[in-house]
């Protein structure tokens, strides 16, 4: 196989395929990237069995195809070589015994490849009930939920985000059992019937990076254990998590006894300062003292080895009962980063009951729940 290609065009697409390649895979050939060259296009493929990415580059002025074929090359070395090539274009040629010659201006590399016939086949997603979603919708839902998925594998189902489609609505939920993020939106597109998908948080993070700032329609197709997103010339496959996602609606309190509205920037800054000390403590806990009678909110942080911090936070509004509650400040900081308004309403019930963080706009259905910490 032989072709000449624009280096920047190739590198942009190579970087996206590299998102699916892991050095920790148990299948050695999957540490490589597969290149398939036909008379019409060059296809790049990378996979770690959980995620697979395939990108098609059509023949053009930037891709001149001479002879067809296929090869698997060590992804990390190949990527570094292409990044450091000197010229605008480079030539690529596979010679005998899968040796690959890469030339650009005065630079010339020869690297050993592998037989592409030994590369695993991509998953087959045969469900014909495909639908489309707006790329910005997907990106927003990913940013508003994935931070709350479980990292530990003790409950694998919680390492994913639950997407529930029904009656022109989409609800995305993530929880690690200590916190929860739930976002509901109206859909103009989407599947015709009800559908439940549990997609690994890792897959969604990589998908979000590929989507970036682009504004386009994304085709979505799912089968029993795989989902396929098609973004332009990119096909992004991910395995689906099997099992029943827990009923999280019952965790959300219906009433509250203490409500406080904060400016996000003000509250975030106070949390950052308190965390300077609490991160040095074994527990990493801050205490929030709310007194609606005095119209005061005080945040306290303590590290026995370093010292303590106390700061009064300006609240936009508050009502209800006096309350003291302790929690992990990182959970609230993550919740504030995911917020979609400049102000949030925090609703509390009891010192040892979870509290919620919601936008200060009733029409936005986005709720985050944080479990407090017992400090006595």
Whether 72 and 104 share a structural domain: yes
Contact 286, 278 (CB under 8 A): yes
Per the CB < 8 A criterion, the answer to whether 223 and 125 are in contact is: yes
Domain around 157: 131-249
pLDDT in tens, 188-218: 877 878 899 999 999 999 999 999 888 889 9
Residues 221 and 276 in one domain: no
For the cut 70, the answer to whether the pLDDT of residue 128 exceeds it is no
Task: Note whether residue 54 is domain-resident.
Answer: yes
State whether 201 and 143 are in the same domain: yes
Query: Given 199, 229, 249, which residue is the final one in a domain?
Result: 249
Same domain, residue pair 275 and 210: no
The domain boundary, picked from 198, 218, 249, lies at 249
CATH number at residue 156: 3.10.150.10
Q: What per-residue confidence (pLDDT) applies to 191? A: 80
Residues 101, 187: one domain? no
Residue 326 belongs to domain with CATH number: 3.70.10.10
* Mean pLDDT computed over 175-187: 94
Residue 214: the pLDDT is 82
Is 233 in contact with 192 (CB distance < 8 Å)? Answer: no
Both 48 and 98 in one domain: the answer is yes
- Residue found by looking up tokens 């910490």 in the block: 373
Domain-embedded: residue 124: no
pTM of the predicted protein model:
0.91
Same domain, 272 and 240: no
Q: pLDDT tens, 75-106?
A: 999 999 999 999 999 999 999 889 999 999 99
Instruction: Tell whether 235 is covered by a domain.
Output: yes
- Looking at the fold, whether 93 and 168 belong to one and the same domain comes out as no
Q: Which residues, in sequence order, are CB contacts of 109 under 8 Å at separation 6+?
A: 81, 101, 102, 103
Do the Cβ atoms of 10 and 44 come closer than 8 Å? no
Is residue 101 in some structural domain?
A: yes
pLDDT-based confidence at residue 252 (cuts at 50, 70, 90): very high
Q: Are residues 235 and 269 located together in one domain of the fold?
A: no
Listed residues 249, 272, 296: the one ending a domain: 249
Decide if 215 is inside a domain.
yes
Q: What is the pLDDT of residue 304?
A: 80
Q: How far is CA 324 from CA 81, 286, 350, in A?
A: 58, 11, 9
The answer to whether residue 346 sits within a structural domain is: yes
Task: Specify whether 234 is located in the same domain as 267.
Answer: no
How far is 140 from 161, CA to CA, in rounded Å? 13
Model confidence at 376, in pLDDT bands (50, 70, 90)? low
| Residue 231 domain-assigned (yes or no) | yes
Task: Indicate if the pLDDT at residue 169 is higher than 80.
Answer: yes
Number of domains the chain is built from? 3
pLDDT over 90 for what percent of the chain? 80
The C-alpha atoms of residue 260 and residue 241 are separated, in whole angstroms, by 37
Q: Are both 111 and 70 inside the same structural domain?
A: yes
Q: What are phi and psi of 142, to 5 degrees?
A: -65, -45
């Amino acid at each position: 196989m032989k072709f000449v290609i624009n280096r920047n065009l190739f590198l942009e697409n190579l970087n996206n395929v590299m998102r699916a390649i892991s050095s920790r895979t148990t299948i050695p050939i999957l540490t490589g990237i597969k290149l398939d060259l036909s008379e019409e296009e060059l296809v790049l493929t990378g996979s770690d069995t959980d995620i697979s990415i395939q990108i098609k580059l059509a023949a053009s002025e930037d891709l001149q195809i001479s002879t067809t074929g296929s090869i698997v090359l060590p992804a990390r070395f190949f990527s570094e070589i292409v990044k450091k090539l000197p010229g605008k274009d480079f030539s690529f040629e596979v010679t005998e015994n899968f040796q690959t010659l890469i030339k650009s201006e005065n630079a010339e590399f020869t690297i050993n490849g592998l037989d592409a016939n030994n590369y695993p086949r991509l998953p087959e997603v045969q469900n014909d009930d495909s639908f489309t979603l707006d790329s910005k919708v997907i990106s927003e839902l990913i940013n508003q939920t994935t931070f709350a998925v479980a990292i530990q594998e003790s409950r694998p189902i919680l390492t994913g985000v639950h997407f529930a489609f029904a009656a022109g609505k989409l609800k995305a939920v993530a929880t690690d059992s200590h916190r929860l993020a739930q976002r509901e939106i109206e859909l103009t597109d989407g599947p015709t019937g009800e559908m439940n998908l549990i997609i690994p948080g890792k897959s969604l993070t990589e998908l979000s990076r590929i989507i970036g700032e682009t504004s386009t329609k994304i085709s979505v197709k799912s089968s029993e254990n795989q989902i396929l997103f098609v973004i332009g010339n990119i096909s992004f496959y991910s395995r689906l998590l099997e099992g029943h996602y827990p009923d999280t609606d019952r965790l959300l309190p219906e009433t509250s006894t203490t409500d406080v509205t904060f400016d996000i920037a003000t509250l975030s800054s106070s949390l950052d300062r308190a965390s300077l000390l609490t991160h040095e403590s074994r527990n990493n806990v801050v205490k929030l003292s709310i007194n609606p009678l005095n119209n005061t909110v005080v945040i306290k942080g303590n590290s026995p080895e370093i010292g303590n911090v106390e700061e009064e936070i300006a609240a936009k509004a508050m009502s209800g009962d006096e309350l003291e509650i302790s929690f992990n400040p990182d959970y609230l900081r993550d919740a504030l980063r995911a917020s979609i308004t400049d102000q949030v309403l925090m609703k509390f019930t009891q010192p040892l009951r979870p509290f919620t963080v919601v936008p200060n706009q009733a029409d936005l259905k986005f709720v985050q729940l944080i479990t407090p910490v017992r400090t006595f």
